[in-house]
């Protein structure tokens, strides 16, 4: 039986590439975007196989209705992919309250509302796969994207917990963690803080380092996502891109080195 997939953030980048790949694979797809014009060509090509839905993921009631509409249209809902999100560039000190709240509303709470909405359906089915698009920056951090790091760390903690709560219902949870790719993450969809002169030297060093950073091709991820969806035992975490594993390994080795150096103090803090 063809799978039914609900994917958010389908207007561009990974979301649109994956949506097209799913349709070409014969899946039924409900694809959400703030502007449905971005899905017009796919709708014309694939007809009733695609259900475009206008959605702002921060609207909890609209998120619930989107899940219900998808289920009513196709009769079942096999996969949820929470892909909607954006980058916020700037130091922690530079970030305004509104920028911080807006980012968490989309990157974390929007994902949470849709996840909560699909769980009753998947529990009733006795099956389902929830795929959350995180980042390597949900496992390690880079300067100048502190709030983005925080939003993805929150996604990681939430879904590692969720996976342990829903496995008895036949529901799988996967975190997709891309390294840098040539998407619009740092382009028109990004938000930038009001800069403070004190951080300009740091930003200049970062910018110089990014110039030599090998950036992945978004199109190359589709085969991995299709394999993830088709897997009977999908992993909790799937890194994407050749930079991902060495970056994570370096980050965790650094953590263990520091924990080892302070192990005596850690143990003494137990008391008797």
Can 148 be counted among the known catalytic residues?
Answer: yes
User: pLDDT tens digit string along 6-15?
Assistant: 999 999 999 9
pTM comes to 0.96
Can 134 be counted among the known catalytic residues?
Answer: yes
User: pLDDT tens digit string along 191-248?
Assistant: 999 999 999 999 999 988 888 888 999 999 999 999 999 999 999 999 999 999 999 9
| Residue 233 structure tokens | 């035992």
Asked whether 66 and 58 are in contact (CB, 8 A), the reply is no
Residue 114 has a pLDDT of 98
| Residue 126 structure tokens | 């006795």
How many C-beta neighbours within 10 Å does residue 59 have?
14
Residue 178 has a pLDDT of 97
Region 122-146: mean pLDDT is 97
> Which residue of the set 27, 148, 181, 185 is catalytic?
148
Instruction: State the chain's mean pLDDT as an integer.
Output: 96
| Residue 104 structure tokens | 């968490």
Q: Is the pLDDT of residue 1 over 70?
A: no
CA 13/CA 236 separation, integer angstroms: 23
Nearest Cα neighbor of 97 from 109, 86, 105, 108 is 105
How many C-beta neighbours within 10 Å does residue 2 have?
14
182 phi, psi to nearest 5 deg: -85, 60
3-state class of 216 per DSSP? strand
> Which residue of the set 135, 152, 174, 185 is catalytic?
152
Asked whether 54 and 39 are in contact (CB, 8 A), the reply is no
> Which residue of the set 11, 134, 135, 151 is catalytic?
134
End-to-end C-alpha distance for the chain, whole angstroms: 59
Region 106-123: mean pLDDT is 98
User: pLDDT tens digit string along 151-195?
Assistant: 999 999 999 999 999 999 999 999 999 999 988 776 777 899 999
| Residue 241 structure tokens | 């891109």
User: pLDDT tens digit string along 241-262?
Assistant: 999 999 999 999 999 999 999 9
Task: State the Cα torsion 12-17-23-25 to the nearest 10°.
Answer: -170
How many C-beta neighbours within 10 Å does residue 109 have?
17
CA 171/CA 162 separation, integer angstroms: 10
| H or E, element range at 7 | strand 4-7
CA 226/CA 175 separation, integer angstroms: 14
How many C-beta neighbours within 10 Å does residue 199 have?
18
User: pLDDT tens digit string along 59-85?
Assistant: 999 999 999 999 999 999 999 999 999
Would you give the DSSP letter of residue 166?
H
Q: Is the pLDDT of residue 104 over 70?
A: yes
Would you give the DSSP letter of residue 81?
E
Asked whether 166 and 116 are in contact (CB, 8 A), the reply is no
Region 110-134: mean pLDDT is 98
The DSSP string of 84-134 is ----EEB-TTT--HHHHHHHHIIIIIIHHHHHHHHHHHHHHHT-EEEEEE-
Nearest Cα neighbor of 220 from 239, 198, 241 is 241
């Amino acid at each position: 039986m063809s799978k039914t997939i609900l994917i958010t953030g389908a207007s561009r980048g990974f979301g649109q590439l994956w949506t097209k790949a799913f349709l070409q694979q014969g899946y039924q797809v409900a694809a959400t975007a703030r502007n449905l014009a971005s899905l017009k060509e796919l709708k014309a090509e694939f007809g009733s196989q695609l259900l475009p839905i206008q959605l702002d993921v921060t609207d909890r009631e609209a998120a619930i209705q989107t899940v219900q509409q998808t289920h009513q249209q196709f009769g079942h809902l096999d996969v949820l992919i929470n892909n909607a999100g954006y980058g916020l560039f700037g130091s922690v000190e530079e970030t305004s309250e509104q920028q911080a709240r807006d980012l968490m509303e989309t990157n974390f709470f929007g994902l949470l509302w849709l996840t909560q909405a699909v769980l009753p359906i998947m529990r009733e089915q006795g099956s389902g796969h929830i795929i959350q698009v995180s980042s390597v920056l949900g496992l390690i951090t880079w300067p100048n994207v502190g709030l983005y790091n925080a939003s993805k760390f929150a996604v990681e903690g939430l879904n590692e917990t969720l996976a342990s709560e829903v496995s008895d219902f036949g529901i799988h949870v996967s975190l997709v963690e891309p390294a840098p790719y040539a998407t619009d993450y740092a382009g028109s969809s990004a938000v930038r803080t009001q800069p403070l002169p004190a951080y300009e030297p740091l930003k200049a060093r970062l910018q110089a380092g990014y110039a030599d950073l090998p950036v992945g091709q978004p199109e190359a991820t589709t085969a991995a996502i299709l394999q993830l969806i088709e897997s009977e035992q999908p992993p909790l975490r799937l890194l994407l891109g050749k930079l991902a594993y060495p970056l994570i390994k370096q980050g965790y080795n650094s953590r263990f080195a520091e924990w080892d150096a302070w192990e005596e103090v850690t143990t003494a803090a137990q008391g008797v």
